[in-house]
Chain A
Amino acid sequence: MRPRIGWLDHLLGALLCAGYVALLLGTSADLAMSRDESFYVTAAQDYARWMRQLWNDPDAALTTESIDAAWDYNHEHPGLAKALFALSWIAHENAKDGGSVGSAGSAADGRHGSAGSAADGAAAEGAGLFASDSDAFRFPGMLSAGLLLWLLYIFGARVFGREAGAFAAVAYALMPRPFYHAHLDCFDVPITLALTFAVYAYWRALTSRGWIVIAGLAWGLALAVKHNSWVLPGIFLIHYVWMVLAARARAKRDLPASARLVTRPWWLVSLAWLGPPIFLATWPWLWHPETMLERFGWYARFHVNHEYYTIAYLGRSWFEPPFPISYPFVLTAITVPLVTLAMAGVGIAMRARAMLPGFVRDRVWKNGDVEPDSPHTDVLLIGCLLAPILMIALPSTPIFGGTKHWFPAYPFLCMYAGLGIVRATNALRHGVGARLPASRWTSRVLVSALVIAPMLVQTVHSHPFGLSHYTPLAGGVPGAADLGMNRQFWGFTTGSLTEYFTEQMPNGGTVYLCDMTPGAWEMLHRDGLLPRNVRWSASMTNADFVMVHHEDHFLEVELQSWIAFGTTKPAHVLTYDGVPIITVYENPRRRR
């Protein structure tokens, strides 16, 4: 029996959301901006400039020149997420100078990464809405993570019950990799939220006509966040066909059918009518009719023919297809807490009978308690769990993004984990029975502690090295290094060296950034984490210090440092669980 979800449930979801966002805001300063974040900061500042212009002079803002000037940068991704980063930053800046949206002295005029530009970004004085400029850009991403927990609780509660929903949300919150990504002004967590919400809306639309329109809206928003949403209707279609065929099979056998089930594909109509218009409406770069098709074609080709970046996996640096099919499965196994995976396994096993087609179920698993519900929810959930992972497992799909490219699978994994945890709780209660005092609550507390402790320990331990973290199944960080796994990407670990560089260069100096972008470095200045006179250097040989972010193929930067500085001895090695993350070389010129 599914619970009726009421305002108390939403209150709990809101608390989960607020608590998680507060946690993310509190831990954000430990993470330097990553490469991709810095690009989106630049884009957000461009968009913010355009939004201000739109507010002050709409006619001028809507000219082709103005739109292209603001929206051309980073046009490989749609506009919605970056527009939210921009709005968050505008709110932050307005709070600083007490101005309005269109206030003068726009900080958004600065182009990130160009000389002296970040000072423009910090032009407004005052405390601002957030503790730092980075937090302002990152807040929509953090909020997405919080809202995802809320949604996960509600979705999980509706499907498997409140306890399962709550555990699902907690299991997602305490996954080390998603916890890192939840801090960022990137798309991976927003798209996970958008896709999960689209699935939820579609699922609701199967039994409630009011949700048909919301399903289309949700998919449109997902399209406006990231390109992986384009495959979602395909998953829905497979599920829908399955569901309709099953309904017909029941009808043939004169079995009762759910009166609420919407078997006409209104959801598809909604997606088709609302999705693409929302995608277009939120992306001014596509607004010119004469260039719309050409630009959309470029966008599609960019992702279909995406460049391959090198990434280490099991001792080999992969840079071209065919990529290993095992990649997403192994990475999931060694980055998601085992307790989550094990409980998801229990949950899936519990529901496995409901995932089988009727004719198979009747033949191979005739006797069982578990029946599919009329919308065949398990088929939908397992499809949404497997689809992102299988997409990455295709030998032609680039794997450079680590686990983040199949994050949309994790909410569904966590829903089954929640169900598995409830099963474990019940098993304890029924197994021990009266021997446990207040067995219902005792078993809940005991299971909660057993579940949450390893998740929490690993997530806490992963910070601020989220992308370098591996679970005990891999032997932790050192075990993963032994296995030849990727140690990091994006250069974000530089955030752990700000104190070192500040101490080493009290009178200022320069650092060669290796995998970090100048824009990300500039954010350390803007956030007050690094003195402004500690600058980045484009020249390795002229820099006071050289950073080497350890990835196997980055060895060449280390070798170059040896030649440039005439020594193989680092000045400093940043380690995580004893594994080198960044090695720093000092220019001997400083010692003369």
Chain B
Amino acid sequence: MWPFALLALVAIYELVAQAVISARVAPDADWASAATFVRGELAPTDLVIVAPAWADPILRRELGDRIPLAAAGRSDLAAYERVWELSIRGRRAAELEGARETMPPALERVFGAVTVRRFDLGASSVRLDLTSSLRDAEVRRGARTCAWRRSAPQGGGLGAGPLTPAEHFFCGPEPWLWVGETATEDLDLQGRHCVWQHPAGTEPIATTYRDVELPGRVVLYGGIYYLHERDEVHGPVDVRVLVDGAEVGRMRHRDGEGWKRMEATTREGRGDVTIEVTAPDPNMRTFCWSASLRGPAREVGE
């Protein structure tokens, strides 16, 4: 009888499992209800995320107008004081792992198949998001100032790399020598909100923020567009962070390191912050960085 028993067992398993899989799919109405609730509670320093990550387009369909580029392409949670997690299938967001270990959710509500949890991380350490403030900076290629330019966005398509935004600094004549706020796909195929600052060789490309408040730390993430990093055949990219012309931190990014973090301490007060990028060989060094000026680190979410 065992062949029949096996057949019956497997057949019933497949039929029941298929039915369960279909029944567990979160209906659009549940997403909409959860989103309506969260929308009503959202504060400007809140972040909304989803678990599992593959549901991100659905989250943004419901709340994308409240998820700006900086949030969607975040490098960490430091800029946010509260995080809303919309969860399906019992999944939990990996980036909230640290928060979950130290605190219970401040709020938990269930909307059918979608569970909403809120984690109150505390006051943000971020004083200035340099990535989003690029427009206020100056950019130089060596001694020459790069002009702020407005044109139609350029690029697009698989393998094309980050899109050139409508507004950017142009340091050419090489068409890739621009500095602008965009988004890149890093080595782990994660989207990163960042400033494209392709090196021009050993001649530095430098982005300077004049007379900004220095809360004591600079945190910078940087990486190379995945297609140009994954083969691990190209040379390094050097990044220096300077305050009033004096180096406070540096990072050498090598292929294979992905979205790499660097932290430097600065004096407090006000000053000029410069992010300088060079490369011994600039070929395919499609470098993009995300940085912020931060005060003392809080316990969770950094």
Please indicate whether A and B come from the same complex rather than being unrelated chains.
yes
- A residues sitting closer than 8 Å to B (CB atoms) are 317, 319-320, 337-339, 342-343, 346, 420-421, 423-425, 427-428, 431, 447, 450-451, 453-454, 457-458, 461, 471-472, 475-479, 481-482, 512, 514-515, 539-542, 550, 552-564, 567-570, 572-573, 575, 577-580, 583
Task: Kindly list chain A residues whose C-beta atoms are within 8 Å of the C-beta of B73.
Answer: 559, 562
Known: A562-B69, A580-B57. A447 touches B156 (CB 8 A): no
* Residues of chain B with a CB closer than 8 A to A573's CB: 57-58, 61
When the two chains form their complex, are residues A515 and B157 in contact, meaning their CB atoms are under 8 A apart? no
Q: Closest CB of chain A to B190's CB: distance in Å? A: 8
Give Cα A558–Cα B24 distance, bound, in whole angstroms: 27
Q: Which residues of B contact A (CB under 8 A)?
A: 1-4, 6-8, 10-15, 17-18, 21-22, 24-26, 52, 54-58, 60-61, 63-65, 67-69, 72-73, 88-89, 91, 152-163, 165, 182-185, 189-191, 225-226, 230-231
Contact A560 B10, beta carbon cutoff 8 Å: no
Contacts of A570 in B (CB 8 A): 57, 60-61, 64
Measured CA separation A461–B225 after assembly (Å): 38
In the complex, the chain A residue whose C-beta lies closest to that of B185 is A556
B1 touches A343 (CB 8 A): no
Query: How far is the CB of B26 from the nearest CB of chain A, in Å?
Result: 6
Inter-chain contact A552/B189, CB cutoff 8 Å: yes
Contact A577 B25 (CB under 8 A): yes
> How far apart sit A556 and B25, CA to CA, in the bound complex (Å)?
27
Number of inter-chain CB pairs below 8 Å: 191
Contact across chains for B185 and A553 when beta carbons are under 8 A apart: yes
- Is the pair B156, A539 in contact by a Cβ cutoff of 8 Å? yes
State the CA gap A320–B56 with chains docked (Å): 28
Contact residue among A339, A478, A564 (Cβ-Cβ distance under 8 Å from B153):
A564
Inter-chain pairs besides A342-B7, A553-B226, 20 sampled, C-beta below 8 Å: A317-B189, A319-B230, A424-B4, A425-B4, A458-B18, A472-B14, A476-B21, A512-B156, A552-B189, A555-B189, A556-B161, A560-B163, A561-B156, A568-B64, A568-B68, A569-B60, A573-B57, A577-B22, A578-B25, A580-B55
Contact residue among B25, B60, B182 (Cβ-Cβ distance under 8 Å from A478):
B25
A457-B15 in contact (CB<8A):
yes
A368 to B3, CA, bound (A): 18
The answer to whether A337 and B14 touch (CB under 8 A), given A540-B157, A541-B154, A560-B162, is: yes
Chain A: CB-nearest residue to B89: A478
Set of chain A residues within 8 Å of B152, measured between Cβ atoms: 541-542
Q: Find out whether the CB atom of B21 lies under 8 angstroms from the CB atom of A567.
A: no
Residue pair A472, B64 in contact (C-beta under 8 Å): no
Q: Which residues of A contact B68 (CB under 8 A)?
A: 568
A319 to B91, CA, bound (A): 28
Contact, CB under 8 Å: B7 / A559: no
Which residue in chain B gives the minimum CB-CB distance to A470? Answer: B21
Contact A346 B67 (CB under 8 A): no
A506 CB to closest chain B CB, in angstroms?
Answer: 22
Query: Would A558 and B191 count as touching, CB distance under 8 A?
Result: yes
